[in-house]
Amino acid sequence: MAKTSKDKEIIDLARSLEGTPWCDEYEKMISGMLYNPLHPTLLEGRHRARCLAYDFNNLNPNHGTREQTDGERARMLAGLLGRVGPGTYIETPFMPDYGCNVIVGENCFMNFGLTILDTSLVIIGNRVQMGPNVHIYTAGHETSVLSRIKFVEFGHPIRIEDDCWIGGNVVILPGVTIGRGCTVGAGAVVTKSLPPYSVALGAPAKVVKTIASVEEELADTANPYRNMPDRINS
């Protein structure tokens, strides 16, 4: 359901992002209030995202070395997203709604076909990995038919914390927080928040087990990953 007042914490965070279509309707939108998606400033914001995403998705890899192409992709991604950390790579096609409402940390990897409806903020931590065709939806609608006739909608933020693995064809719905170290199995529909170090499967996604924390794994001398380098470079 939509909120009835602005979210100061979300608004303050959004002020640090690049390319936001700032106006009163934008503040309502990211706060989870009902808002008008046809406001001219928001229309321009979505048009900007379409243009930048088109360029990103159609970069010709034959026009340079791998290093040159990766550098250009990183530059373009930084212009498309609100904020992105070093070492993050998103395969094409990538389909954001605004783009500017997406924050991604360091050393993340998202496979082909990522779709993000970033009506509100999408906050992704470090070292998050995603399989193909993951869909992240902050956008929501009331069940009221009249609300659709009036063409109003809302959005709630989504948070994916550090070190999560999101399997292929997963759908993440508005307002969800996926805690650190979670694994979400392929095809799951995440309708509710998941506690850290959970493995969740199904539609709707349900926690089927809890795994060891990073601290517990590092303390286990028998852990096969313990002495591996942080990143393996080929």
Could you tell me the residue ranges of all domains in the chain? 8-219
Task: Write down the catalytic residue from 39, 63, 141, 156.
Answer: 141
Task: Give the pLDDT score at 232.
Answer: 53
Strands (DSSP E) found in the chain: 83-84, 89-90, 94-96, 102-104, 109-110, 114-117, 122-124, 129-130, 135-137, 139-140, 154-155, 158-160, 165-166, 171-172, 177-178, 183-184, 189-190, 198-201, 206-210
Task: Give the pLDDT score at 234.
Answer: 42
- CATH top-level class of 8-219: mainly beta
Task: Give the pLDDT score at 53.
Answer: 98
Beta bridge partners of 171: 135, 189
Task: Give the pLDDT score at 231.
Answer: 67
What span, in angstroms and rounded, lies between the C-alpha atoms of 207 and 200? 4
Long-range contacts of 214-217 (CB under 8 A, 24+ apart): 214/163, 214/181
Q: What is the mean pLDDT of each run of 10 residues along the chain (234 residues)?
A: 96 97 98 97 98 97 92 97 97 98 98 98 98 97 91 95 98 98 98 98 98 93 87 53
The distance between the two most distant Cα atoms of the chain, rounded to a whole number of Å, is 61
Task: Give the pLDDT score at 227.
Answer: 85
141 a catalytic residue: yes
Is the alpha carbon torsion for 77, 78, 81, 83 positive or negative? positive
- Angle (nearest 5°) at CA 216 between 212 and 221: 115
Closest CA to 79 of 59, 61, 60: 59
Q: Output the 3-class SS for 48-117.
A: HHHHHHHHHHCCCHHHCCHHHHHHHHHHHHHHHCCEECCCCEECCCEEECCCCCEEECCCCEECCCEEEE
C-alpha dist (Å) from residue 201 to 136, 170, 185, 198: 16, 10, 5, 10
